[in-house]
Structure 1
Amino acid sequence: MAPLQCTTLSECDFGPHPVVPEFFNLAAHTLAAADKTPNKVALRVVVSGDDQYPEIVTYSDLKTAVMVAAAGLAAHGVTRGDRVVLRIGHSTDFPILFLGAAALGAIPVPTSVSLSQIELQFIVKDTAAVLLICSEQNAIEVSGIRSFAPNKMIADPLQDFAVTQADDLAYIVYTSGSSGRPKGVAHAHRAAFARRMMWEGWYGLTQEDTMLHAGAFNWSYTLGAGLMDPWAAGASSLIYAGPRDPSVWPNLVNTFGATIFAAAPGVYRQLLKSKADLSGFSGLRHGLSAGETMAASLQQEWVSRTGKPVYGALGMTECSTFISSSPAFPSKSAKAGRPQKGRRVALLPIDEGENAVPRGDTGLIAIHRSDPGLMIGYWQNAQETEATMRGEWFLTGDLGVMDSDDYIFFEGRSDDQMNALGYRVAPQEIEDALMRHPKITGAAAVELPIRKDLSVIAAFVTSDELDLTEADLTSHCAEFLASYKVPKVFRTVKELPLNPNGKLRRKSLIKMYGFR
C-alpha cells in the first residue's frame, strides 16, 4: 500500500487515486467476468435455508439476460440517454433491467416499491422518463408514461455494450431533499469503477468469495455490495428470496459456503435475539454492516458469539461508502473506520472554511470533488448541488473526529436529516405531507431514540381539532409517503418551538415535550 500523504490536521490523501479509463460502461465493467469465466456461478437464488435446488445463474447466463433486457428496452423505443423508471420488487428482474438499461446507454432510475403514487408521479415527471417498468405485483397507475412488466422486455440479445465515457450519466437515485422536495442523485458510469476502492477498503473481496447479502434485490446496498461488486470481481453472489426467518442466514452460510455476510445492523440484532444456531457461521470469514451505524454492544455480542469480525462502513447515496473498517484495518469501534485507499477525505470546520480542523476536534466530514465515486450532481438542481460544496470539497453533513491513526469516529448529523430503516429522510418531506391534512395547523418531524441502537420517526402536530387520532394520521401519511417514511409515533402539542427568525427548532421538540 502506498504511504499515506497526511497533513498534521484531519485531512488524508489515501493515494494513489484510481485512474478511470476515458471510455467506460458500468454494465460492461460489471459483467466482464462473463468473457473470462462464462460457466462460473454468478448468482444463486434460494427460497429456504437448506434449499438444495436453488436458481443458478452462470456469468454467461447473466450477460445474456442483461443483453436481452437491453434489446427489449430498445424494442420499446428506449434510446441512449432516455430515463427508464424501475419499480421492481425482490426479483432478479431488478438487477438485470438496471444493467440492461446501462448496457444500452439509457438511464435507469430505480425506485422503492413502497413509494406512493404521488411520490412516483413526481419522479416520472422530474426525469421526463419514457418508460416505467413495474413488476406485476407492484403495478401502479402513473399518468403520462408507458408502463410495461419485465417479461415484456424480451428480444434478440443486444450484440455489444453502448460506448460510453466514464463521466456520462449512468443512473439516477432519488433521496430526500433538504427542502422536502425529493432530489435525484445523478451518477456517472465511473461510479462503478470507483467501487473497486471498497474491495480492499471494506470487503476484503476476492474472486474466490461467495457474498451472501441479506437485503432484497431492489435495495441499493444489495445492488452494489451484494451483486455488482462480487460480479465485477468475478466472485459469486447468494441471495435469499424466501420467508424472513433469522435462522435462515447461518443455514445458508453453511449450505452454500458463503464467505462474506452483508446485512444491516437490524438483521444482526434479530439474529442474536433469535434461537438460531449460530454455529452455521463457522465457515464465514467476516460480516459487513451498513445502512446505519451498528451499536458497539451489538458488534461486541456478534464477535463474542460467532467468533467472526464484522466491518462497518459509512456512506451515502451521493458517494456510496467511503469510510470503513476492513480485514486490513480492523475496527476500533462500531462508529469508526478509515478512508478507503484512493479517497481524499477531510474534516472541515462546521460553519465555514476549507482548512481541516486539528485531529481530535469535531469536524464536518467532506469528500474531495475529484473522487470518481462522487455524484455528478443533483438532477436538474444546480442550486442544491452547489449548496453541498465548499470550494474543492463535497460536504456530507456527517460529523466526525479523526485520530492519530487516521480513523474517523462518526458523531452524527450536522443537520435535521433522519435515518429510517437505513434510508436518509428529510423532515420537510414528512411535514409537507402532514400539512396536507385539513385539520393540522403545524407539523414537525424528528428522529426519536427508542433505545441505544434504535430510532424511529416521530411527528409533532398542532391542531384546533380534538378528534385527531394516530390511526387517522398514519392513514393520511400513507397516501403521500413511502411506508418507511411514515412516522411511527405521533403527538399533538400546543405549539412548535421556533427561533427568533421563525425557524422551526426541531431538536428542541423531544426535550420540550417528551413522549409517554
Structure 2
Amino acid sequence: MRSDRRTLGPGDWPSVRAGFRWNIPQQFNIAAACADDWARVTPDAPAIIDIGGDGLRRVWTYAELKDASDRLASAFRAWGVVKGDRVAVLLSQSPEVMVAHFAAMKLGAVVLPLFTLFGEDALAFRLSDSGAKVAVTDDANLDKLLGVAAGLDTLETVVNVGHRGRGIPRLDDILAEAAPLPAPEPTLADDPAMLIYTSGTTGDPKGALHAHRFLIGHLPSVEMHLERFPADGDVSWTPADWAWIGGLMDLAMPTLYFGRPLVSHRMRKFDPDAAFRLIRDECVSTLFLPPTALKLMRQTDVPGGLKIRAIGSGGESLSVDLLDWGQDKLGAPINELYGQTECNLVVSSCAGLGVLRPGTMGQAVPGHHVAILDAEGREVPPGTVGEIAVRRPDPVMFLGYWNQPEKTAAKFTGDWLRTGDLGQADEDGYLTYVSRDDDVITSAGYRIGPTEIENCLTGDPDVVMAAAVGLPDPVRTEIVAAFVVLRAGAARDGLEERLVARVRERVSPHVAPRRVVVVESLPMTATGKIMRRALRERAD
C-alpha cells in the first residue's frame, strides 16, 4: 500500500519527470487516507509518538487515531456541525491536533488551524472572518479563547483537551462516552478541507481555502526533499508548529498518509541541544527544519548516534556553507523547497536524484508548472529576474480566498498564480529566489505581514502612524523593526517596552518588534502608501 501511494516512479531524474502523471481520485478524504485506511491495514502500527513537555512518552497507533477521531466527529455532529462548517484547532503540536483535524474532515467540515502564540486580536479576526462554529483548545489557551468567544456570534462550542473549565466539554470525556461515527461523510477531492490564513502582507490576513486534494498535491515534493520518502524505518519530526502550513503539510500530514511514525513534541522555545537529543533518542530519520533551526543547530555540538537520512527546509534561502554542514556533520542532504500558503511545495531539490545546485531552490516539482513572469504576465528568458508564478490547474493550489472573490481573481494573471516573490531560472530550469515584495518580513522561518503589527501599534493612544519593516539579522534573517509617529506631547519613557508588549500580547510574540524607532513622519507615496523600502534604507 505504501509503494502504491508514491507519486514519483523509480529511475533517474529525467525518467521520473517524464513518467509523472497525477492520479487524483474523484472521491478523497484526508482523514480516511491518513488514519482510517491504515487502521484497517496496520491497526497496531505507531502513528504518532508523543513526547510531552514532562518527557512522558505515549505512542498512538493508527487504530487509536481512527477511534478517537471517530468519537470526536460524533460529538461534533451532535453539536450541529455539518459539511462546510468551520472547526478551529488552537493547539500546540500533539496527537490531539490530528484527532481534531480528522474528526472535522470526516464530517466534511473545514479545519481552521490557529497558532497558539496568537493574541486575542489575531484570534478574534480569524474566528470571526471564518465564522468558526466549534473550537478545540487546551488548558493553556482556554482563557484566551473564551475571552474572544464572548464577542463572537458564530462560535457555539469550545472543547478542551485539558481539564479546566466548568461546563466545557472535555476531550477525555468525549472519547470515553461518545459512540464512534458510523460512517464518514463522503467527500470529493475538490471539496474544501482546510482554511489557512495568510500572513496579511497586503492588508488583513486572507483565508486560503484548500481542498482535500491538496494533500496529494504536496506529495511529489515531499518524496523529493525527503529523498524518495518513505524508506523502511523512517521516523519523522519537525519543530515547526502544525498550525503553520510548513509544519503541517511539508511533513506531518504526508508522514501519516504514507503510514509512517510521526513524532510530536512542541518546544516552548527552540533548543538546538534538546532537538538533537530528541532526534537521537527517537531515531528520527526525516525532518523538516526551518532555516533558523538549522542555523541554531549549527552553533552547537552534533551528538553521535544520529540516524538522519534527509532534511527538507524552506521559508528562506540557505547558504552553501549551511548545506555543506548538513552533509558533513549530519551525514544527510538538506534539500530546499519553495511554496506559499496559496500554492505550496512547487519547487524542490533532491540530492539523491541529482536535482541539486547550491544557491538555487531546485527545479519545478513534477506535476507543477512554474515560470518567471514579467509585469505583463509573459515568461522571461533564462537569467532574467521576474515574478515566480505557478500555472493552474494544480492540485496543491488553493480554491480561493475565503469570501473574497475579487482578491482571488487579482492573484492571477490568466492561468498564472502570481506569488509576489521575485526569482530567476537558468537554462537548466533551476530556480533562484531573489527577493520578495517590499512588505513581507521573513523572520525565523515565518513570513510576517506588517498590517496586523501596524494596526496594533496605532491602537495605542500615543501612536498616530506606524510602519513595520524587516532589518537584516544573522540568525533570524530579519528582525521586525517598527517606525512610529507619536501624538504631540506623548511621553517617551517606557514607550518601546509598552509597544513591544502590546504587539506580543495582542497579536503574537513571534511578530513583536525587536526595535522601535520614533520618527517625525513616514515616507509616503503620492497615493498615501507607506514607502517601507525607504525606511529600510534609512535604517541601514
TM-score with structure 2 setting the length: 0.87
Q: CA RMSD in A?
A: 2.5
Give 1:303's aligned residue.
Answer: 327
Question: Within 2, Cα distance between the matches of 1:267 and 1:466?
Answer: 40
Question: Within 2, Cα distance between the matches of 1:439 and 1:241?
Answer: 37
Q: In structure 2, the residue corresponding to 1:364 is in which secondary structure? A: strand
Question: Within 2, Cα distance between the matches of 1:487 and 1:149?
Answer: 32
* Residue type of the alignment partner of 2:32: A
The 5-angstrom pairing of residues 33-48 of structure 1 reads 33-47=38-52
Give 1:238's aligned residue.
Answer: 263
Give 2:3's aligned residue.
Answer: none
Q: 1:280 to 1:330 in 2, by over 3 A?
A: farther
Q: In structure 2, the residue corresponding to 1:192 is in which secondary structure? A: helix
Q: 1:130 to 1:501 in 2, by over 3 A?
A: closer
Q: In structure 2, the residue corresponding to 1:249 is in which secondary structure? A: helix
Question: Within 1, Cα distance between the matches of 2:45 and 2:124?
Answer: 41
Give 2:529's aligned residue.
Answer: 503
Q: 1:4 to 1:306 in 2, by over 3 A?
A: closer
Q: 1:67 to 1:366 in 2, by over 3 A?
A: same
Q: How many residues align?
A: 501
* Residue type of the alignment partner of 2:348: S
Match of 1:294 among 315, 318, 325: 318
Task: Measure how far apart 1:489 and its partner are.
Answer: 1.0
> Do residues 172 (structure 1) and 195 (structure 2) align?
yes
* Residue type of the alignment partner of 2:159: F
Any conservation in 2 of the 1:83–1:129 contact (CA below 8 Å)? yes
> Do residues 381 (structure 1) and 386 (structure 2) align?
no
> Do residues 85 (structure 1) and 97 (structure 2) align?
no
Task: Measure how far apart 1:322 and its partner are.
Answer: 1.3
Give 1:22's aligned residue.
Answer: 26
Task: Measure how far apart 1:361 and its partner are.
Answer: 0.7
Task: Measure how far apart 1:415 and its partner are.
Answer: 3.9
Any conservation in 2 of the 1:14–1:344 contact (CA below 8 Å)? no
Q: 1:105 to 1:289 in 2, by over 3 A?
A: same
Match of 2:211 among 168, 188, 197: 188
Judge which range, 121-130 or 14-23, deviates more.
14-23
Gaps of 5+ in 1: 6-12
Give 2:501's aligned residue.
Answer: 475
Q: 1:276 to 1:452 in 2, by over 3 A?
A: closer
Task: Measure how far apart 1:14 and its partner are.
Answer: 7.4
Question: Within 2, Cα distance between the matches of 1:131 and 1:506?
Answer: 39
Question: Within 1, Cα distance between the matches of 2:282 and 2:47?
Answer: 13
* Residue type of the alignment partner of 1:59: Y
The 5-angstrom pairing of residues 1-150 of structure 1 reads 16-31=20-35, 32-47=37-52, 54-139=57-142, 140=145, 141=147, 142-143=149-150, 144=153, 145-146=155-156, 147-150=158-161
The 5-angstrom pairing of residues 450-465 of structure 1 reads 450-451=473-474, 454-463=477-486, 464-465=488-489
Question: Within 2, Cα distance between the matches of 1:200 and 1:347?
Answer: 24
Gaps of 5+ in 2: 1-8, 162-169
Task: Measure how far apart 1:220 and its partner are.
Answer: 3.2
Question: Within 1, Cα distance between the matches of 2:238 and 2:505?
Answer: 31
Superposed CA offset, 1:116-153 (max 9, x none): 22222222221222112221211122223232213344
Question: Within 2, Cα distance between the matches of 1:375 and 1:450?
Answer: 32
Question: Within 2, Cα distance between the matches of 1:242 and 1:436?
Answer: 31
* Residue type of the alignment partner of 1:133: V
Any conservation in 2 of the 1:4–1:15 contact (CA below 8 Å)? no
Superposed CA offset, 1:298-347 (max 9, x none): 22333232332111111111122211112324431254211111111111
Q: In structure 1, the residue corresponding to 2:99 is in which secondary structure? A: helix
Match of 2:240 among 208, 215, 220: 215
Q: In structure 1, the residue corresponding to 2:207 is in which secondary structure? A: strand
Q: In structure 1, the residue corresponding to 2:272 is in which secondary structure? A: coil
Question: Within 2, Cα distance between the matches of 1:70 and 1:214?
Answer: 28
> Do residues 269 (structure 1) and 295 (structure 2) align?
yes
> Do residues 365 (structure 1) and 388 (structure 2) align?
yes
Give 1:409's aligned residue.
Answer: 432
> Do residues 492 (structure 1) and 518 (structure 2) align?
yes
Task: Measure how far apart 1:359 and its partner are.
Answer: 0.8
* Residue type of the alignment partner of 1:473: L
Q: 1:217 to 1:509 in 2, by over 3 A?
A: closer
Question: Within 2, Cα distance between the matches of 1:284 and 1:102?
Answer: 32
Question: Within 2, Cα distance between the matches of 1:508 and 1:457?
Answer: 15
Superposed CA offset, 1:200-254 (max 9, x none): 3322212522112223444432322332101111222123356754223333333
* Residue type of the alignment partner of 1:348: L
Q: In structure 2, the residue corresponding to 1:86 is in which secondary structure? A: strand
Any conservation in 2 of the 1:425–1:485 contact (CA below 8 Å)? yes
Task: Measure how far apart 1:72 and its partner are.
Answer: 2.1
* Residue type of the alignment partner of 2:287: F
Task: Measure how far apart 1:164 and its partner are.
Answer: 0.7
Question: Within 2, Cα distance between the matches of 1:329 and 1:465?
Answer: 63
Match of 1:446 among 443, 449, 469: 469
> Do residues 345 (structure 1) and 350 (structure 2) align?
no
Judge which range, 457-466 or 164-173, deviates more.
457-466
Question: Within 1, Cα distance between the matches of 2:437 and 2:131?
Answer: 33
Identity of aligned residues (%): 28
Question: Within 2, Cα distance between the matches of 1:268 and 1:4?
Answer: 27
Any conservation in 2 of the 1:47–1:242 contact (CA below 8 Å)? no
Q: 1:504 to 1:207 in 2, by over 3 A?
A: same
* Residue type of the alignment partner of 2:464: T
Question: Within 2, Cα distance between the matches of 1:3 and 1:247?
Answer: 37
Any conservation in 1 of the 2:456–2:503 contact (CA below 8 Å)? yes
* Residue type of the alignment partner of 1:489: R
Q: 1:80 to 1:135 in 2, by over 3 A?
A: same
Give 1:431's aligned residue.
Answer: 454
The answer to which structure, 1 or 2, has the higher relative contact order (CA under 8 A, 6+ apart) is 1
Q: 1:40 to 1:387 in 2, by over 3 A?
A: same
Q: 1:433 to 1:35 in 2, by over 3 A?
A: same
Superposed CA offset, 1:407-464 (max 9, x none): 1011120342222332322222222222222222221111111237621111111123
Q: 1:478 to 1:210 in 2, by over 3 A?
A: closer
* Residue type of the alignment partner of 1:136: D
Superposed CA offset, 1:165-190 (max 9, x none): 11111110112334421211100111
Any conservation in 1 of the 2:312–2:335 contact (CA below 8 Å)? yes
Q: 1:480 to 1:15 in 2, by over 3 A?
A: farther
Q: In structure 1, the residue corresponding to 2:362 is in which secondary structure? A: strand
Task: Measure how far apart 1:286 and its partner are.
Answer: 1.9
Task: Measure how far apart 1:366 and its partner are.
Answer: 0.6
TM-score with structure 1 setting the length: 0.90
Task: Measure how far apart 1:357 and its partner are.
Answer: 0.3
Task: Measure how far apart 1:48 and its partner are.
Answer: 8.2
Q: 1:241 to 1:122 in 2, by over 3 A?
A: closer
Match of 1:252 among 270, 278, 281: 278
Judge which range, 135-144 or 161-170, deviates more.
135-144
